[in-house]
Amino acid sequence: MDTHIQQLLRQTGFRVYENSCRQVRGTTICFARRNGSAFLATTQPEVLGELDEALLLDAETNLAGIPLTWPNYLALRTMLSLAPSTCDQPISFGAGDRLGMVSGAHLQALARYRVFPVIAQQSPRELVRTGRDFRDVMLSAVTGVLETGYAGTWGADADHIKHEQQILQAMEAGYSMYTVDVSDHLRDVTRLTQPEIVDKARTLSALSQSIVRDHLNLRIRTEQGEYYTLDAQQLALSAIAFEDALQEACRLYEILRTNLSAFDFELSIDESPRISTPEDHVFVVEYLRRSDANLTSLALRLPGEFQKGVDYAGDLAELGRALRLHAALCKELQGYRLSLHSGSDKFSIYHLFREATGGRFHVKTSGTSWLEAVELIARVHPVLFTDLYRLCLFSIEESTRGYSVSISAEQFPPLPPDDLSAFLAQPKVRQLFHISYGVLLEEAGSTIRDLLDAHEQEHYRLVTEHIEKHLQALTEAGGA
């Protein structure tokens, strides 16, 4: 730690992060913030080359502050090893940061475990609601890397991508992981009659027909000795349901392969109304494989309810069997992992997921860290919390669009009770705040950010402890 530079920064009104100092080309660089902006500080700025908007902070020592703008990030990305990379661990964990304020807290938790941290993780749906873009999310993740002094590998996930333009924007921002969501392209096969299934199966592509033919009567055995034999008609239904969607997935994959030398590719079908069958799993993976699309992870639609911000709701025995079958298929087909979406706060099932997958998986969380911010607001500013709660109720119809939650305004009191922490712990209230982030940030974003910035240490502590609860449940051995 270079105490001299840090002392100078404090004297000029900066918040200094003691673990951030690093040696680069023989000089010390530290990370600091002032008035909500992120800076790199050094007494030898010439070592870093030509950078935009550098501020001379102390003429005597030549201390300069370099704002972490997008052009400066691009100029320093290679020199400071600030680029995300592909996953290099059996377990990876995505921690979305809707506010762009707690990547450092996420890394404080994730760095203590044998997991690959994905700290830039946002979907286009979240970007629209928060008024951000892929660049902004990347910069927020980079500030977390810089302020903590983290020196390991980390990932950036362009989550739930549905369109080519979204792929292009994420590639331009340098993302390392692309989660393609093809749920909008699935065919509804629930009402097909037997003759219709036969007719539609005849019109399938040669590729799809070969997958169905090659996997008839495939017998799957789980680690627990359970058996499942693929059904011919169900395989045909899977092909009919997924063929168009997978053609689109392969088209988007080809854009990535043409432009990038390395990337992680996840396919998401978890937001489909159709619960994924073993036949679906086999058809999806084999279609991608035979199309030369290298799958890194697969997010399935599992039985039960994976609603936002609350624990799993459903039959644990049914879920356990489904996980064991899908994990057995991963082992049979090889080369990819299962991915658990809406993974926040699903504490009752983490042991099932960990055991079924043998400790090879990806988990995504997002809104759970935002809820820790709401918890802090409830503790330190009850009046603001009450105002936000009323805004949540007023905008509930808008906020529920696009999210799988079962709440309505009639389920909530017009004002919160006196015990705000207990109130916020209620599942319905957690869901309400979980999905209302867009409206709240649009209407009161500056007030929220200012309050959280003023209580940064407490905010970080809440987020770090909550993410650690997830990691402790998901990893058998605990910390590294």
- The catalytic position among 2, 147, 266, 271 is 266
CA distance 108 to 471: 12
At residue 401, the pLDDT reads: 86
CA distance 413 to 387: 14
CA distance 389 to 391: 5
Per DSSP, what are the bridge partners of residue 122?
A: 158
Is the distance from CB of 341 to CB of 268 less than 8 angstroms?
yes
CA distance 461 to 285: 40
Residue 58 annotated as catalytic: no
Q: What is the pLDDT of residues 382-430, one digit of tens each?
A: 999 999 999 999 999 999 987 878 899 999 999 999 999 999 999 999 9
What region does 344 belong to: left with phi over 0, alpha with psi -120 to 50, or beta?
Answer: beta
At residue 4, the pLDDT reads: 85
At residue 217, the pLDDT reads: 87
Residue 50 annotated as catalytic: no
At residue 3, the pLDDT reads: 81
Is the distance from CB of 78 to CB of 65 less than 8 angstroms?
no
Residue ranges of the chain with pLDDT lower than 70?
Answer: 1, 477-480
- The catalytic position among 97, 147, 159, 280 is 159
The total of other beta-carbon atoms located within 10 Å of residue 226's CB is: 12
At residue 480, the pLDDT reads: 46
pTM: 0.96
At residue 309, the pLDDT reads: 86
